[in-house]
Structure 1
Amino acid sequence: MSNNEVFSDDEKQKDSKLKIERKEGEPTSAFKGSSWASLLVGITAYLIGLYNASMELNEKGYYFAVLVFGLYSAVSLQKAVRDKDEEVPVTGIYYGLSWAALIASIILMSIGLYNAGSIVLSEKGFYAMSFVLSLFAAITVQKNIRDTQRARERD
């Protein structure tokens, strides 16, 4: 038996070990980690920006509430869309409210940034981008959690 054949067997064992650890349909650890990192970076950047902002406390509260509302509505909508796709019963009112809530959070953020006279344009862009990053990451994290749960339930 040559060294190449031993190496090939070792590689096959490593490959089979990796396949055993990750169930079919489960996202990779790298994807899960990058999703969580994106969520933490987006929320942390947004909150640090709010903390350092030279705006009134009620304005900071508004932007914080819009972030929380946006995150919740994004996750709720992702769940409703996924449930509907998987033929899990979803009422039309909940589905519609999930869409309305997400749209409302985006509109509230847009109106708030448009009317904010005390914020320079670069800060407005910063808040908008960290808001969008946070929403997308929240949806992705929730999807990963659900995919992982589903993959592990199959066994």
Structure 2
Amino acid sequence: MERQDEGLLNKESDVKIKEERREGEPTSAFKGASWAALLIGVAAYLIGLFNAEAMQLNEKGYYFAVLVFGLYAAVSLQKAVRDKDEGVPVTSIYYGISWLALIIAIALIGIGLFNAGSMVLSEKGFYGMAFVLSIFAAITVQKNIRDTQKARERD
């Protein structure tokens, strides 16, 4: 009889876990996948920089700064676009600068990789893909945080 009661308790606690997620809130799996993509993208990029023996320290600093700038620009743009969509006041100068900053970050990584004579094409592709993964994941993590916050404020 106890085993049946434990089974019922487990089913009830499973139902409670499913009910805790509010409408509009991303699932835990999606949140986890977004954070994993961000960590993997940034870690791969940084490990690649650390292990780049042919690259001078000033080049490594350039690629690091471009990554940080790109991440910040992407999150800032996501916030500005979302605020504007939800009717939160966003000045046109901030909105424009957010777009410009992301475009500049993408241009800087592209120009830097195009002109990197010390890198083979596969290495350039690696940095480009790690950069894009990191940028996309940062946008997704920011969106998930905002969706979760908004869903919890409704209650």
Fold match (TM-score > 0.5): yes
SS of match in other structure, 2:55: coil
Listed one character per residue, the Cα deviations across residues 39-66 of structure 1 (whole Å, up to 9, x for unaligned) are 0000000000000112000000000000
2-structure distance, mates of 1:52, 1:104: 26
Question: Quick check: 1:131 aligned with 2:131?
Answer: yes
Following superposition of structure 1 onto structure 2, how do residues 97-112 of structure 1 map, counting pairs within 5 Å?
97-112=97-112
Tell me which residue corresponds to 2:29.
30
SS of match in other structure, 2:89: coil
The aligned amino acid for 1:152 is R
Tell me which residue corresponds to 2:20.
21
Alpha-carbon offset, residue 16 of structure 1 = 3.9
1-structure distance, mates of 2:14, 2:154: 21
Bigger Cα displacement from structure 2, 14-23 vs 27-36: 14-23
Q: Which runs of 5+ in 2 are unaligned?
A: 1-6
SS of match in other structure, 1:25: coil
SS of match in other structure, 1:76: helix
1-structure distance, mates of 2:31, 2:22: 14
Tell me which residue corresponds to 2:49.
50
Tell me which residue corresponds to 2:59.
59
| Paired-residue identity, % | 77
Listed one character per residue, the Cα deviations across residues 72-112 of structure 1 (whole Å, up to 9, x for unaligned) are 00000000000000000000000000000000000000000
SS of match in other structure, 2:112: helix
Alpha-carbon offset, residue 13 of structure 1 = 4.4
Tell me which residue corresponds to 2:117.
117
Tell me which residue corresponds to 2:40.
41
1-structure distance, mates of 2:114, 2:11: 57
Q: CA RMSD in A?
A: 1.6
The aligned amino acid for 2:141 is V
Following superposition of structure 1 onto structure 2, how do residues 81-100 of structure 1 map, counting pairs within 5 Å?
81-100=81-100
The aligned amino acid for 1:48 is I
Q: Which runs of 5+ in 1 are unaligned?
A: 1-6
2-structure distance, mates of 1:16, 1:51: 47
1-structure distance, mates of 2:134, 2:115: 22
SS of match in other structure, 1:26: coil
The aligned amino acid for 1:41 is I
Aligned length in residues: 148
- Tell me the TM-score normalized by structure 1: 0.90
